[in-house]
């Protein structure tokens, strides 16, 4: 079993500095999409097979951004970083340098926050908003009654959704295209089903896939006032603590 907590960018940097890293200690960097068996092989260089190795490998294999694993005196921490790690490897020491460098760097980020009827698109340098736009669009709630009237309503709602997504795509293209060369990562927030439907309809969002971070920001109401919380989430780490 593990204990989970989330650290903001600057709290994570402070935690890395204060972390009890007395030797002997070990560190592993796990790139995203690494198979569990490969993670186990990496960790087995300094960790005996058993429950802890299995739980760490299982945890790291599920992270969309990879994991940095610190092991000290029978206790392990798996950190899911905000952005993807580039390589897998391990060292027999406490080495937070790669994660600290990632957290310290002011990345250029594009945020696309969408729920049906509301959207906000922003470009950030570090946690500072460079350019942003938010708006609304009419999309009726689902109609739960049956019959032909329900079918007509469903078709009308689909057209409203298509019109809304087209509008969001147009504003996002206008805002993001001029920054695409500088943007390091694109992150999405809002409702997963809504975002997937929009992604299937809109070719511009599909073209951003190489820069997309495969995790979803939790945003209740996409609007300009949501940017502060969204960018805080964008730089946050999730930490899992394990004990033997």
**Residue range 23-48, pLDDT digits in tens:** 889 999 999 999 999 999 999 988 88
The rounded Cα 132 to chain-centroid distance in angstroms is 20
Q: Cβ neighbours of residue 149 under 8 Å, at least 6 residues apart?
A: 143
Are residues 97 and 178 both part of a single domain?
no
Q: What is the mean predicted confidence (pLDDT) over 139-161?
A: 63
Are residues 94 and 112 both part of a single domain?
no
Give phi and psi for 84, each to the nearest 5. Answer: -65, 135
- pTM recorded for the entire structure: 0.90
Q: Cβ neighbours of residue 86 under 8 Å, at least 6 residues apart?
A: 31
Are residues 8 and 123 both part of a single domain?
no
Number of domains in the chain: 2
End-of-domain residue from the set 71, 105, 139: 105
Residue 110 clears pLDDT 80, i.e. is over it: yes
Are residues 99 and 149 both part of a single domain?
no
Report which of 71, 65, 80 is spatially closest to residue 185, judged by C-alpha positions: 65
**Residue range 188-236, pLDDT digits in tens:** 999 999 999 999 999 999 999 999 999 999 999 999 999 999 999 999 9
Residue 21: pLDDT band (50, 70, 90) is confident
Tell me the CATH number at 137. 3.30.420.60
Helices (H) and strands (E) in the chain, counts: 8, 11
Task: Identify the domain containing residue 225 by its residue range.
Answer: 108-234
């Amino acid at each position: 079993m593990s204990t989970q907590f989330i650290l903001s960018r600057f709290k994570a940097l402070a935690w890395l500095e204060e972390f009890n890293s007395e030797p002997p200690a070990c560190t592993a960097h796990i790139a995203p999409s690494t198979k569990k068996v490969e993670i186990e092989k990496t960790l087995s260089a300094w960790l005996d097979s058993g429950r802890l190795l299995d739980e760490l490998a299982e945890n790291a294999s599920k992270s969309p951004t990879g994991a940095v694993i610190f092991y000290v005196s029978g206790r392990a921490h798996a950190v899911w970083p905000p952005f993807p790690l580039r390589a897998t490897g391990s060292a027999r020491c406490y080495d937070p340098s790669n994660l600290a460098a990632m957290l310290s760097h002011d990345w250029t980020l594009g945020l696309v926050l969408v729920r049906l009827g509301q959207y906000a698109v922003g470009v950030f340098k570090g946690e500072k908003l460079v350019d942003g736009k938010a708006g609304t669009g009419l999309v009726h709630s689902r109609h739960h009654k049956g019959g032909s009237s329900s079918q007509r309503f469903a078709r009308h709602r689909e057209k409203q959704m298509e019109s809304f997504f087209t509008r969001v795509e147009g504003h996002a293209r206008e805002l993001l295209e001029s920054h695409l060369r500088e943007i390091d990562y694109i992150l999405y927030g809002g409702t997963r089903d809504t975002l997937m439907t929009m992604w299937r309809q809109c070719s511009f969002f599909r073209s951003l896939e190489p820069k997309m971070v495969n995790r979803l920001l939790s945003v209740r109401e996409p609007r300009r006032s949501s940017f502060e919380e969204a960018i805080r989430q964008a730089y946050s780490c999730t930490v899992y603590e394990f004990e033997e």
